[in-house]
């Protein structure tokens, strides 16, 4: 029972990492299963069978959120399935003694790749154009083969390649790769079933990994908003490197004082990668803060200019209205010219000068009734 709880915890941690980085579920699960003594072929077979459930749940979630590019999915899933089936068949045909260093070497290489990738600033720019089938097909084939033979590698191979191309949004890269992995995991499971039979799958291990992964799936969305992917990727890469280095050193027969020296060098490299990852994260945050400040300043300037224009327009309109009112009032208050013979309040105008001003007023009488 304790072992199943540990395996469920392994599946939970692996799914949290995969949900945050878009990769490393199989990579992390297989590494931890090898550490506890599971045979390489059985570890890869069990992980891929559990991935059928976790990738199905992840694919449905990504589809509902609009994170899936179905054109990319169809062009990498089918070649990936072919590569995964071939890799599973190959791994099933070799002995455990031969498979252990092979699988450890693949996992070690992928872990080192994670260290290098996340020690540098992550690319966020996006280029124009669409990804071509002649790029997606071979990518899916290689990623599927590495995934089956190494117990993981679909995400670490496919996701960075699509991100580096710069032709897809990061969220669609992760969503499309996770969705296509459902087909890849199914093909790998069929290959292991043919090569190993039903006894090659450790069903309690599969169930434990699946339960842990399903529990972690909704938590991964929260984790990705809390823990920076830069630091998480470098940390996971170091764990994978150190864990698989033990198998490689043992297979090479390196004993004595050389073993702790190698571990110390790997630890220094891991620490260096973490330092570079922190520096890259700080540079990225400063750049984002600078862009945000510039955007805010531009918006403030635009608002001030709009307000100034509004005030100027209102002032001009007010002055124009006031001028028109004053002119109208002056015109109304000026006395109208008197015409000779006119009767004003019973007063007759006897004569007028040329400008209409009365020259003299003579009382004639009251106006005659009409």
Interval 164-175: pLDDT, tens: 676 777 778 888
Which range, of 125-134, 141-150, 217-226, 350-359, averages the lowest pLDDT? 350-359
Alpha-carbon gap, residue 154 to 112, rounded angstroms: 16
Phi, psi of 349 (to 5 degrees): -90, 115
Task: Give the pLDDT score at 254.
Answer: 77
pTM, full prediction: 0.63
More confident residue, 227 or 194: 194
pLDDT digits (tens, 9 = 90+) for 152-194: 778 878 877 787 676 777 778 888 888 999 999 999 999 999 9
pLDDT digits (tens, 9 = 90+) for 1-35: 777 788 888 888 887 777 666 677 887 888 888 87
pLDDT digits (tens, 9 = 90+) for 33-63: 887 778 888 888 899 999 898 888 878 878 8
Q: What is the mean pLDDT of residues 257-280?
A: 89
DSSP 95: -
Burial state string for 267-298 with b = 16 or more CB within 10 A and e = fewer than 16: eebbeebbebbeebbeeeeeeeeeeeeeeeee
More confident residue, 360 or 311: 311
Share of the chain above pLDDT 70, in %: 76
Is a pLDDT exceeding 90 seen at residue 75? yes
Which range, of 98-102, 227-231, 269-273, averages the lowest pLDDT? 227-231
Is a pLDDT exceeding 70 seen at residue 261? yes
Cβ(247)–Cβ(30) below 8 Å: no
Instruction: Locate all alpha helices (DSSP H) within the chain, ordered by sequence.
Output: 2-21, 25-35, 40-64, 70-93, 96-118, 133-150, 154-165, 170-196, 203-226, 229-252, 258-333
Kindly list the domain boundaries of the chain, sorted by start residue: 2-293
Cβ(333)–Cβ(325) below 8 Å: no
Token duo for residue 367: 């106006």
pLDDT band of residue 125 (cuts 50, 70, 90) is low
Task: Give the pLDDT score at 364.
Answer: 46
More confident residue, 333 or 113: 113
Structure-token match 């006894």, residue found: 199
Token duo for residue 262: 């190698």
pLDDT digits (tens, 9 = 90+) for 281-311: 888 888 878 887 887 787 777 777 776 777 6
Cβ(28)–Cβ(231) below 8 Å: no
Structure-token match 């390489």, residue found: 40
């Amino acid at each position: 029972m304790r072992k199943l709880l540990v395996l469920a915890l392994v599946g939970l941690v692996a799914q949290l990492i995969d949900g945050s980085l878009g990769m490393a579920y199989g990579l992390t699960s297989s590494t931890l299963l090898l550490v506890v003594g599971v045979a390489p072929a059985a570890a890869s077979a069990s992980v891929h069978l559990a991935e059928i459930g976790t990738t199905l749940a992840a694919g449905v979630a990504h589809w509902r959120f609009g994170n899936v590019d179905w054109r990319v999915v169809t062009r990498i899933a089918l070649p990936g399935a072919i590569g995964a089936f071939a890799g599973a068949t190959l791994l099933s045909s070799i002995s455990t003694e031969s498979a252990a260093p092979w699988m450890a070497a693949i996992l070690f290489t992928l872990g080192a790749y994670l260290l290098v990738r996340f020690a540098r600033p992550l690319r966020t720019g996006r280029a124009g154009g669409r990804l071509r089938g002649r790029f997606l097909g071979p990518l899916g084939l290689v990623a599927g083969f590495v995934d089956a033979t190494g117990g993981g590698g679909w995400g670490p191979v496919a996701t960075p390649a699509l991100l580096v191309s710069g032709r897809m949004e990061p969220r669609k890269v992760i969503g499309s790769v996770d969705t296509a992995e459902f087909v890849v995991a199914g093909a790998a499971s069929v290959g292991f079933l043919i090569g190993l039979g039903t006894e090659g799958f450790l069903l309690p291990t599969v169930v434990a990994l699946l339960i842990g992964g399903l529990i972690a799936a909704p938590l991964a969305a929260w984790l990705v908003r809390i823990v920076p992917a830069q630091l998480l990727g470098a940390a996971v890469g170091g764990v994978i490197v150190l864990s698989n280095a033990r198998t490689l050193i043992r297979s090479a027969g390196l004993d004595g004082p050389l073993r702790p020296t190698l571990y110390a060098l790997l630890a220094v490299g891991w620490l260096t990668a973490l330092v570079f990852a922190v520096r890259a994260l700080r540079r990225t945050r400063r750049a984002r803060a600078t862009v945000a400040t510039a955007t805010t300043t531009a918006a403030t300037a635009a608002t001030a200019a709009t307000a100034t224009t509004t005030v100027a327009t209102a002032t001009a309109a007010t002055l124009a209205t006031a001028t028109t009112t004053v002119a109208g009032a002056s015109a109304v208050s000026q006395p109208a010219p008197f015409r000779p013979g006119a009767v004003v309040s019973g007063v007759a105008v006897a004569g007028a000068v040329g400008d209409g001003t009365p020259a003299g007023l003579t009382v004639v009488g009251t106006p005659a009734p009409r």
